[in-house]
Copies of this chain bind each other. A is one copy, B any other.
């Protein structure tokens, strides 16, 4: 483990995670802070207060930051880089603050449905896994807005967005379809998730619109415990997301694995749905991938 060489930061909408890193990107120390939404107008102050003691000990270090810190409501706006994009293009498009802080851009593309699409933050996770990918690989980054990206020979070709997590949250909180579980049992919920997945596997080409009401009707008919309706909904949504992506990407899919990058809780759910649909997966922790991507950019810029 070497000495401190740079600071890496993932500054999303709701959280900031800063790492003091050695030259290999190994975290020597960590600080957590407020997300970009809460830091409007005081990004510099927030950053300085969290890194002051690192500065005193090591002098001012280079910094690589990704996430909403580079959005229109961020510290500086780091414009989207159009796909296809490689690591060096993303590095070259970083926006610099105070000569030593590099804010990563997001990516844009025309997606496979003919619509404009964007991501911000996930480009860094993609950079973090580029080295371990097959020559042609599908990467899924599950979240509020799940991203499906096609990567070929080190190049992020294109991607599209499925607001699977957001849809789940708004339906659970605001619809009559799946009320929040009260006193839910983890085993019963896991079983309900698997039933939701199995429902999609049985009729994979059904429009998810025509399956959502099941969460309620199965509860009303006594076929599903009310506390498990949300887990059933989650299974329906994630399996529909996976099968729909497979169909949309039929030509891009290779017989290999789908690489899942994100919070382990989420990648595990996607891995279960993928397995039920006959797809192999490889899971990578999103925080690890992000730090690896920030390290890659540090190497390119130093």
The interface of chain A, by Cβ under 8 A from chain B, is 108, 113-118, 145, 160-164, 166-167, 170-171, 173-177, 199, 202-203, 205-214, 217-218, 220-221, 223, 237, 240-241, 243-245, 247-248
Contact = CB atoms under 8 A, between A and B. Distances in A.
A240 B207 contact: yes
B208 A208 contact: yes
B203 A113 contact: yes
A161 B115 contact: no
Nearest to A217: B116
B113 A199 contact: yes
A47 B161 CA distance: 51
Nearest to A146: B209
Copies in the complex: 2
Contacts of A217: 115-118, 161
Given A115-B218, A163-B175, A166-B176, 12 more contacts: A108-B221, A114-B203, A116-B221, A161-B213, A164-B209, A166-B175, A205-B205, A207-B240, A207-B241, A207-B248, A209-B237, A209-B244
A163 B177 contact: yes
Nearest to A207: B244
B206 A208 contact: no
Contacts of A199: 113-115
